[in-house]
Structure 1
Amino acid sequence: MLGWLLVFVCVFSWSKGKELITNGGFESWMSQWDCWEMHCDPTNEGHSGQHSVKATGRHHPWESPSQYVAVQPGRRYDVSAYFKLLSDAGKSHTVQFQIQLYYPDGKTGDITAAQMTDVTVSAGWIHVHGSFSRPSDVALTKARVYFQIVDPSVTYLMDDVSINDVGDADAYMRNTSDQEIRRLRTSPIHVRVSTPGHISKSDVVILVTQKKKSFPFGTSVRSPVYTKGRVNKYRDFIHNNFNWAVPEWYLKWRMMEPTRGQIDFQPALDLINGLRAHGLKVRGHNLVWSKAEFIPGWVKQLSGQELRQVVLQHIQDTMNATRGLLEHWDVNNENLPDHGKWYQDRLHDPDYNLELFRIAHRADPSVKLFLNDYSVVNADESTDEYLRQAQRFKAANVGLYGMGVQCHFGDERMPDPHAIKRRLDTLAKAGLPIWATELDVGAADENRRADYYEHALRAVYAHPAVEGILMWGFWDQQHWRGEKGALVRGDDLQLTAAGRRVLDLYNNQWMTDESHVLSQSGDNFTVQGFHGEYEVRVLYQGKELSNLKKTFTLGKGDYTVSINVHT
C-alpha cells in the first residue's frame, strides 16, 4: 500500500468541481467502463436514474467495473459510489473504492480511496465515500478506478460513481488542520482591563506571551552523545526545542545487560537525569522486545520457568532503578503477531504478552504503560490488527494506558494527512490515548523533506486522540536515516529547510505571543491561546508595570485575566 495516498472516510459537505468519471450512473450502459474477467450485466434498478450495473462471475477480490481517470498533481479529490449487495454468504463485508496508479517505470500501486465496513444484503443501498490527494512530486502515467470486495462470491449492484476535483491538496490540508488544531489545542484567554480616567488607553499595551507548551513535542536521544559527546549544541538543541525525550538505545535490555548478571543502568540514568534537570519529561523504551535480533543472546538460550523468572526479574529491577524518573514505558515493543512474538513462541504461551503488562503494572503502578508498533499509521499494513490488539489488552485490564504509533514514513513518499487521519480514526476506536512515538520522514531534498514533515506533523497534531509527538532523532550525524531525516546537519548543527519548517510550527505557529494596544483592542478582548504556561504583562508609555504581571497555566477551559492599571 502507498501510505501517502490512502484516505479517511467521513461525512463531508460535497463541494462540486471537475467530474472525472464518465457515465457514473450507467445510463449509457457500459460506455467508458471495462469489465475484465467477470460479467457486467445491465439492470433496471438504480440508486438514482433508470439503471445500475450488476457485477457477477467474479474470481478475485479486485474484479469489478473499472474506468481510467486523469488525476492531476497537487489536487485533492472527493470520491463517492453506491453499492447494494445481492449476496453476502451469511457474513458482513468491506467494500473498498480503489485507485490503481501506474508509474513510468511500469510499476503500479493500489490505494484505498474510501471504504465501508460491515456491509450485508440487509443494508440495501450503501454510500461509500471519502477522498484522496495526488502529491505534486510523484510522476504517473495514468490511474484506474475499480472496486474491491475480498470475497469474490459476492455479487452486487453499483451506481452513481463520482470522482470530483475539489482543489489544491496542500491548501486543503493546511486549512483543515489549522481548524482542528485551533479547536483541540487552544482555549480562550479573556483579558479584562480597567484604567483610571487620567490614563490614555493608547499608552497601555497588554502583552500575552506563552512561555511553555503543555503539548508534548519530543525526540529520541542518543545517550553517550548527550552525556559525553563533544558537541554541546546537540544538548542545547534538545533543551531549547523539545519538552519530552526518549532514550533511543540505553534502556533496552540488550544494551544494559549483554552478559548475564552484569547489568549497567548508569548510562541510561545519566541521560534521564540530565534531561530531567533541564525540564524535559522522559519515556522509557523498552522493557522487552519480542524480535529475536533485539533480545540479549544469553536470554535466547533460556526457556520455561527459568525464562519467565529472568524476564520478571529484569522488569522489576529496571522499573525499580528508574522509579520516579519516567512517565511512560513501552512494555513489549513491536509485539503484533506478524512483527514479533519470540517470548510467546518460546514459552508456548500466546497470552504471555498480557502477563508482561501485569508484571510491569505491579512493579510500578504510577507509570503509564504502552503498546508500541509500526505500519499502523504510516501504512495500512497492521492498523486493524493493532486496534484488535489494543482492544484485547484493554479488556484484559492489564494496566495498558495508551498506544504508541511509530510513524516512520516511507522514503521519498509524501505523508498523506487524509490517510493518517483515517488510520488514527481506526485506532482511536480502542478508546485509548495515542502517542506518535518515533516520527520521521525520508527525503534527500531538504525542501521536500520540510513539506513531508509539515504534512505528517499537522495531521498527527490535529487528531483528537493524540496526546504527544516524539521524533526519532533530528541530527544527520545521529539519525538512522542520516541526512534524509535530518532537521540539522554538521558539527555546528545548522538548520536545514526541514528544521526551519518544523521549528516554525513548534515555536511560532503553535505558540501564542500577542500584544494589544488598549485603544485598539478595547478594555475587554480575547486571545485564542495554545495550551501551556503564560505570563501577561502591562506596558505603560513603553515601560513595564512589573507589579501587574500575571502568570497562569492555560488548559482546555476558558481563562480570565483581570488587570487594574494604575500608576
Structure 2
Amino acid sequence: MKFLTGAGLFCLLSNVVVIAGQELLKNGGFESLSDWQCWAPLQCFLTSDAYSGSHAVVASSRAESWQGPTQYITVNPGQRYNVSAYMKLLSDHIGENMEAYVDMEDQAGHHVYQTVATHGSAKTSDGWVFIQGSFTAPHTAVKTVRVAFDCGPSAHVLFAVDEASVTPLTGITNVTDAYLNNVIDRERKGDMHFNVKTASGVHMNDIKIHVLQKKKSFPFGSSFNAHKYNEGAANGKYRDFVNKHFNWVVPENALQWYDIEWTRGHMNYKLALDAIHGVKSHGIKVRGHNLVWSVEKYVQGWIKQLSPTELKTVVKHHIEETMNMTRGLLEHWDVNNEMLHGSWYQDRAGDPNYNLELFRIAHHADPSVKLFLNDYNVVAGSGFTNDYLAQAKKYKAANVGLGGMGVQCHFAEEIMPDASLVKERLDLLSTAGVPIWVTELDVVAVDENKRADLYEAALRALYGHPAVQGILFWGFWDQTHWRGPHAALAKGNNMELTAAGRRVLDLFENQWMTDETHVLSAVGNQFNVRGFHGDYEIHVLYQGRELPHLMQNITLYKGSDVTVSINVQNVV
C-alpha cells in the first residue's frame, strides 16, 4: 500500500556479483553543486563532512519529505538500472527513512514514482550509510526520468548525500518464460502412476481414463471486504465470487485493532468473525491481519495517550484477547505490520526489542498459529530487501515463533513487473530459511488488457519461484480496491470479470490445473500423468459411458507421487 522499491557500484544480489556499467549521473561525488537541482524552498550547500573526496551535499529548508537534490538522466527502454549513494542523517528524529527514488514521466505527462533504495529508521549515530537498489525503465519511451534523494516522513530533518551513482545493471539471471515454466513444472506438480488391468474381452480402445483436478492445493486468494461479504442477498454475488475463486483469504481491515476497538472498551469482533465463519464453511483458509501496526497513522488516538507501562499492559491484553477470540479459525497472524516502515510501538515502549516481545506474547497465546512478518518494498521493489532479510534472520534466531515472511507485492503503476529482479530478491530473502508468502499482490493499469499482462507477469514470476508458498491479492473488486478500479479483477454489482480477471482466473483455474483424458490403447496399461498438486477425481469411461463404481478420489501432494490402480472387470 505504498511506494515501491530496489545496487551500488558493486553489490551482491543472491550471490551474483553485479558490476555497474557506464555512470549516468554527473558530479555524483558532489565536489560542487553543478548538475544538481535543488528546488525552492529546498536549499543545498556543500559540507566538508564527506564520505569521500572533499565535499558532500546537505539538504535543508525542505517543505516536503520528498524534497532533496535531484538530477535528470537518460535511460534505455526496458534496461535495468542500479542506484546507490552514501547518506547521513544530520538531525535526530525517530523513524526517518533515507532513500533514493526515481520519477518517470511518460509522453502523456503521467508520473510514476518508485522508491529504489532505502535505509530505514535512520539515526545520526548511524553515520554514513550505504543505500542501494534497482529499477527497470519502462519498455516504452519515456519523456523524462529524474533521480532524487530524500528523507522522510518528516520534512524538517537535515541529511547529507555523497557518492551518488546510477548505472546499468548487469550480471543477473535473465528469467524467461521457459525458465519459469520449468520451475512451475518442477515445484508445483507431481506424478500419478496409473496401472490399469482389463478383463478379457474388454478392448483397450474402448476405455478412457479422465484425470480431473477438483481443487488446487497451492494457496491462492485475496483480501476481502467483511461488510460486503456479510451483507447477504444484497451482495450475494460478491460473496459467491470469494467462495468460488479463492482457497485462502484475509478479511482486509476487519481484524485490525483500529477496526476492532476504535474507541477504548468498545469492541467489535462480530464483523470479522461472521465473515471468517462464512468463508470457512466453504473450506477456505484464513490469514489474520494484523495484531498491531507499527506505522503511527494507524495507531488509535486513545492508545497514543497511554504511558509506556500502561501501553505494554493494554497491548498484551489485546493480543491475548484477539487470539483467543479467533482460536482455531486462523492459519496465520501478521503480528506487527510493516516494522521496516514504522516503529511507533517500540519507540513509545522505550524498548528497541519490544517487537520481539509482541511475537513472544502471540506465540504463547496460540502456538498453533504461524506468526508472520509483513512488509513492502522487498520484492516488487528492493529498497528494503536487505533490511527485511536481516530482520527475518533476527526473529528466527530469537526463537519467538516466527512462521513466515509476508512479502507485499504492490507493483508500480503501468510498469511491467521484472521477473529477473523478482527472482533476485526472492532468492536473497529465501536465504533466511523462512517460508515466504505473497500477502498483498496488485498492479495498476488503466487499460484492462495491459493490466492483464502486468498481472500475468507478476504471477508467473511469483508462482515460478520455489520459495513462494502462497499468493494473495490485496483486493479484487473495483468498488472496494484500495488502489482503485484500475487494479481490479472484477467490476460492477454483477462482479463482471475484467480482462485482468479473466487472465488471472485462466491461469489458476485452467492453465495451472490438470484435466486430461487418455485412451488406454494410446497410452498402454501403465502410464503416467504429471499434474498440479491438489485433489483429483479419476473417472473410467467404457465406450463413452462412465463406470461410476470405478471412480476414485486421490490427492497429489508436494514431494510425493501417487500410484492409481484400476481394475476394469465389470463393464455391464
Say yes or no: TM over 0.5: yes
Which residue of structure 2 aligns with residue 380 of structure 1? 382
Q: 3-state SS of the aligned residue for 2:278?
A: helix
Alpha-carbon distance between aligned partners in 2 of 1:197 and 1:472, rounded to the nearest angstrom? 57
Change (3 A) 1:540 1:5: farther
Relative to structure 1, the CA distance from residue 108 to residue 539 in structure 2 (aligned partners, 3 Å threshold; closer, same or farther) is: closer
Question: What's the counterpart of residue 438 of structure 2?
Answer: 436
Does 1:192 find its partner at 2:203? no
Match of 1:535 in 2: 537
Match of 1:313 in 2: 317
454, 458, 466: which one aligns with 2:456: 454
User: Superposed, which structure 2 residues align to 1:436-515 within 5 Å?
Assistant: 436-515=438-517
TM-score, normalised to structure 1's length?
0.75
In 2, Cα distance between equivalents of 1:243 and 1:346 = 38
Name the CA distance, whole Å, in 2 between partners of 1:164 and 1:365: 43
CA contact (8 A) 2:6 2:378 kept: no
Q: Secondary structure of the residue that 1:527 maps to in structure 2? A: strand
Aligned to 1:211: 214
Q: Which amino acid aligns with 1:177?
A: L
1:49-96 Cα distance to aligned partner (Å, 9 max, x none): xxxxxxx989889xxxxxx999566xx89x9xxxxxxxxxxxxxxxxx
Q: Which amino acid aligns with 1:215?
A: F
Structure 1 distance, partners of 2:452, 2:179, is: 19
Secondary structure of the equivalent of 1:344?
Answer: helix
- Alpha-carbon separation, structure 2, partners of 1:278 and 1:510: 21
Give the match for residue 332 of structure 1. 336
Shift in alpha-carbon separation, 1:174–1:316, aligned structure 2, 3 A: same
Which residue does the alignment assign to 2:227? 224
Per-residue CA deviation, residues 397-431 of structure 1 (Å, 9 max, x unaligned), is 11111001111111112111111111111111111
Determine if contact 2:441/2:472 at 8 Å carries over to the other structure.
yes
Give the direction of change, closer, same or farther, for the CA distance of 1:537–1:375 in structure 2 (3 Å limit): same
Secondary structure at the counterpart of residue 261 of structure 1: coil
Alignment-mate amino acid for residue 268 of structure 1: A
SS at match of 1:251: coil
What CA distance in whole angstroms lies between the structure 2 residues aligned with 1:60 and 1:433?
Answer: 42
Which of 355, 359, 362 is residue 360 of structure 1 equivalent to? 362
Distance 1:139-1:173 versus aligned 2 partners, 3 A rule = farther
Contact 1:190–1:559 (CA under 8 A) maintained in structure 2: yes
**Tell me, which stretches of 5 or more residues in structure 2 are unaligned?**
30-51, 58-72, 82-101, 117-133, 147-160
List aligned pairs for 1:207-286, cutoff 5 A: 207-228=210-231, 230-286=234-290
SS in 1 for 2:321: helix
Q: Which moved more, 1:365-374 or 1:545-554?
A: 545-554
Q: Please, what is the CA RMSD of the aligned residues?
A: 3.9
Summarize the Cα distance change of 1:550–1:252 in structure 2 as closer, same or farther, 3 Å threshold.
same
Inter-partner Cα distance in structure 2 for 1:356 and 1:165: 38
Query: In 2, are the aligned partners of 1:286 and 1:331 still within 8 Å (CA)?
Result: yes
Alpha carbons 1:59, 1:152 under 8 Å: kept = no
Name the SS for the 2:301 alignment partner. Answer: coil
Q: Which residue of 2 aligns with 1:545?
A: 547
Asked if 2 retains the 8 angstrom alpha-carbon contact of 1:239 and 1:278, the reply is yes
Q: Deviations over 1:341-380 (max 9, x none)?
A: 1111111111100000000000000000001111111111
Identity among equivalent positions (%) equals 53
* Counterparts of 1:33 and 1:256, CA distance in 2: 52
Q: Provide the rounded CA distance (Å) in 2 between the counterparts of 1:515 and 1:527.
A: 10
- Relative distance call for 1:106 and 1:57 in structure 2 (3 A) is farther
Corresponding residue for 1:87? none
Contact preservation (8 Å) 1:357, 1:369: yes
Asked if the contact 1:132–1:418 (Cα under 8 Å) also holds between the matched residues in 2, the reply is no
Q: Indicate yes or no: 2:561 matched with 1:563.
A: no
Q: Identify the match of residue 327 of structure 2 among 309, 323, 329.
A: 323
Q: Verify the 8 A CA contact 1:8 1:418 in the aligned structure 2.
A: no
After superposition, what is the alpha-carbon deviation per residue over 1:485-543, rounded to whole angstroms, capped at 9, x for unaligned?
A: 10011111111110010000010111001000111122111111100011111000111
**Is 1:202 aligned with 2:205?**
yes
Equivalence map 1:107-256=2 (5 Å): 136-139=139-142, 173-228=176-231, 230-256=234-260
SS at match of 1:477: coil
Aligned-pair CA distance for 1:174: 2.1
Go from structure 1 to structure 2 and tell me whether the alpha carbon gap of 1:464 and 1:401 turns closer, same or farther (over 3 Å shift).
Answer: same
Relative distance call for 1:453 and 1:550 in structure 2 (3 A) is: same
Q: Which residue of 2 aligns with 1:526?
A: 528
SS of the equivalent of 2:517 reads strand
Task: Report the 3-state secondary structure (helix = DSSP H, G, I; strand = E; otherwise coil) of the residue aligned with 1:499.
Answer: helix
- Cα distance in 2, alignment partners of residues 559 and 182 from structure 1: 16
Distance 1:134 1:262, change over 3 A: closer
The one-letter amino acid paired with 1:190 is H
Instruction: Identify if the C-alpha distance between structure 1 residues 416 and 33 changes in structure 2 by more than 3 Å, giving closer, same or farther.
Output: closer
How far did 1:8 drift? 9.8
| Structure-2 change in CA distance of 1:195 and 1:415 (3 Å) | same
Distance, in Å, in 2 between the alignment partners of 1:352 and 1:182 is 43
Counterpart secondary structure, 1:406:
strand
Q: Per-residue displacement from partner, 1:251-296 (whole Å, max 9, x unpaired)?
A: 1111111121121211111010001001100000111111222122
Partner amino acid, structure 2, of 1:536: I
Matches of 1:349 and 1:461 in 2, distance apart?
38
Code of the residue aligned with 2:296 in structure 1: it is A
In structure 2, what is the Cα distance between the partners aligned to 1:162 and 1:300?
44
Counterpart contact for 2:74–2:145, Cα < 8 Å: yes
Map 1:396-411 to 2 at 5 A.
Answer: 396-411=398-413
Q: 1:38 to 1:341 in 2, by over 3 A?
A: closer
Alpha-carbon separation, structure 2, partners of 1:325 and 1:110: 37
Residues 5 and 377 in structure 2, CA contact (< 8 A), matched pair in contact too: no
Q: Are the aligned partners of 1:358 and 1:399 in contact in 2 as well (CA < 8 Å)? A: yes
Residues 189 and 531 in structure 2, CA contact (< 8 A), matched pair in contact too: yes
1:8 and 1:422 in contact (8 A); partners too: no
- Paired with 1:35 and 1:300, the residues of 2 have a C-alpha distance of 44
Looking at structure 2, the residues matched to 351 and 219 of structure 1 have their Cα atoms a distance apart, in angstroms, of: 32
Does the aligned pair in 1 maintain the 2:28–2:163 contact within 8 Å? no
Whichever residue aligns with residue 185 of structure 1, its letter is R
Gaps of 5+ in 1: 13-20, 25-31, 40-55, 62-67, 80-98, 113-130, 144-149, 154-160
The change in CA–CA distance for 1:11 and 1:285 in structure 2 (over 3 A counts) is: closer
Residue 483 of structure 1: how far off its partner (Å): 1.3
Q: How far apart, in 1, do the equivalents of 2:452 and 2:502 lie? A: 8
Q: How many residues are treated as equivalent by the alignment? A: 475
Q: Take 1:256 and 1:491, find their aligned partners in 2: how far apart are those partners?
A: 28
Q: Does the 8 Å contact 1:38/1:58 carry over to 2? A: no
Q: What's the TM-score, normalizing by structure 2? A: 0.75
